[in-house]
């Protein structure tokens, strides 16, 4: 049987899985575990040439010299954005495909022997991130990045459909399943019909997706708790004139991981400093400058993600973050958090309804609902599905590995079709 590999290149984490000769599916482990953080770090070596690392090694390199390095996060969020053409890192222009390829080579390096001669299926969301996302363009870029990394012949599968393949391994009868896959940047839904066979048959009935998920929930926490301490909602003046609002676009970028590094542009920092001179609270804007110049985004990201996770298991949690002279120790109630993310919950609910409409089915026709991905642990998200389908039909699990394992199963079926 031809080897089969599934690769889940995620906004936040990436996972590689394989179907063995005995038909069992397993995650391929890095020394640091199943998941590999989807980050890159660049820095200047002793000879002045740029050096790079990916995953946990990138984080370690960044934490050692945050002011002398460049941390790249959320690369997947840019794939469908035609406006992103290149970025400069230590004087060199990088296209997005090149950056993703550098990451993929590090992600896949330990598994070169497994990849030799394998059928490889990689995942993509139903809808990429961004209000003007071009989904076909996003897939083209994804394929180009894999080709640049040495994998020119890959098939592409929808991520929620892959999670459904993994879930179906445990089904003992025919079933119509709604799969909800929540990543860092996208929420994707597929309605699938499984017939156990033999041969096992999978029919895709409907799909939908929306470019919001865990990162958007993080954004709401920063926007409501952190950004007001950095000048959001305050005013400044020009030539002693009437008060003007401090530009809100700065805080929209500051609260999004994939845009934060762009704020280090000299022009942006000069503009903030100019506004600070006549601002209502100049010290708050100075804190904003210090956080941007200090490249404190990763530390803030960890703190915000931690409090979000804590709110999944308790009614209140504390956001504890410090950088230089700036310190936060703020209690957040789950009810407030759920009110903040209500716009995202409504968009997710609309996408669920769109998947059902695409399948020409109502909620009563769905036998099981499979929730996967870290955001599925948020109680308000789970309630959304309980209200539509009832708690008894909902199953959750494999939050970080089910997509990769399902992609490997799809690769196996593609490489070894039933007789």
Q: Cα 151–86–265 angle (5° rounding)?
A: 140
Q: Does residue 226 carry a pLDDT above 80?
A: yes
pLDDT of 418 above 60: no
The residue ranges of every structural domain in the chain are 4-172+400-415
State CA 267 to chain mean position distance. 28
How many angstroms separate the CA atoms of 186 and 129, rounded? 6
In 3D space, the residue among 70, 23, 35 whose CA is nearest the CA of residue 398 turns out to be: 35
- Above pLDDT 70, what percent of the chain? 98
Q: For residues 294 and 112, what is the distance between their CA atoms, to the nearest angstrom?
A: 37
Reported pTM: 0.85
Q: Give 333's strand partners.
A: 316
CB 126 within 8 A of CB 207: yes
12 backbone dihedrals φ, ψ, rounded to 5°: -105, -45
Average pLDDT over residues 358-386: 94
Q: State the distance between the two ends of the chain, measured CA to CA, in whole angstroms.
A: 13
Q: Give the confidence band of 140 by pLDDT, cuts at 50, 70, 90.
A: very high
pLDDT tier at 276, thresholds 50, 70, 90? very high
Domain spanning 4-172+400-415: which superfamily?
A: ATPase, nucleotide binding domain (3.30.420.40)
Nearest to 80 by CA among 20, 11, 161, 29: 11
Q: What is the DSSP letter of 225?
A: I
Mean predicted confidence (pLDDT) in 12-29: 90
Mean pLDDT of all residues in 93-101: 94
Between 106 and 260, the higher pLDDT residue:
106
The pLDDT of residue 333? 98
SS3 337: helix
Range 341-346 contact pairs with CB under 8 angstroms and sequence separation of 24 or more: 341/216, 341/217, 341/220, 341/378, 341/380, 344/212, 344/216, 344/217, 344/220, 345/380, 345/381, 345/384
pLDDT bracket for residue 416 (50, 70, 90): low
């Amino acid at each position: 049987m031809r080897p089969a590999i599934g690769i889940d290149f995620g906004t936040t984490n990436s996972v590689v899985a394989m179907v063995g000769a005995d038909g069992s599916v397993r995650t391929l482990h890095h020394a640091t575990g199943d998941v590999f953080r989807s980050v890159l770090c660049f820095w200047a070596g002793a000879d002045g040439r740029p050096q790079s690392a990916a995953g946990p090694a990138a984080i370690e390199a960044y934490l050692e010299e945050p002011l002398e390095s460049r941390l790249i996060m959320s690369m997947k969020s840019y794939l469908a954005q035609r406006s992103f053409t290149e970025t400069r890192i230590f004087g060199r222009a990088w296209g997005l495909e090149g950056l993703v390829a550098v990451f993929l080579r590090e992600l896949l390096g330990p598994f070169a022997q497994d990849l030799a001669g394998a059928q490889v299926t990689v995942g993509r969301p139903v809808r990429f991130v961004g209000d003007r996302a071009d989904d076909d363009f996003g897939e083209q870029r994804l394929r180009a990045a894999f080709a640049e990394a040495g994998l020119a012949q890959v098939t592409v599968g929808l991520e929620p459909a892959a999670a459904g393949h993994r879930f179906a391994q445990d089904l003992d009868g025919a079933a119509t399943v709604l799969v909800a896959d929540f990543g860092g940047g996208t929420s994707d839904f597929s309605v699938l019909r499984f017939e156990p066979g033999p041969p096992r048959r999978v029919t895709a009935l409907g799909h939908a997706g929306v470019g919001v998920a865990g990162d958007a929930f993080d954004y709401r926490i920063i926007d409501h708790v952190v950004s007001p301490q950095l000048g959001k909602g305050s005013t400044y003046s020009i030539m002693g004139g009437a008060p003007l609002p401090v530009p809100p676009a700065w805080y929209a970028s500051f609260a999004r991981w994939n845009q934060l590094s762009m704020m280090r542009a000299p022009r942006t920092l000069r503009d903030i400093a100019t506004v600070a001179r006549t601002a209502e609270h100049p010290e708050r804007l100075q804190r904003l400058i210090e956080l941007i110049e200090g490249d404190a985004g990763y530390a803030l990201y960890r703190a915000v993600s931690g409090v979000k996770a804590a709110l999944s298991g308790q009614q209140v949690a504390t956001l504890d973050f410090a950088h230089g002279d700036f310190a936060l120790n703020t209690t957040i109630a789950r009810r407030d958090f759920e009110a903040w993310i209500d716009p995202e919950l409504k968009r997710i609910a609309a996408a669920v309804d769109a998947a059902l409409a695409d399948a020409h089915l109502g909620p009563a026709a769905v036998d099981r609902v499979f929730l996967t991905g870290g955001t599925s642990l948020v109680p308000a998200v789970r309630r959304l599905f309980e209200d539509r389908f009832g708690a008894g039909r909902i199953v959750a699990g494999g939050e970080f590995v089910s997509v990769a394992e399902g992609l490997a199963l799809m690769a196996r079926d593609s490489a070894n079709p039933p007789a």
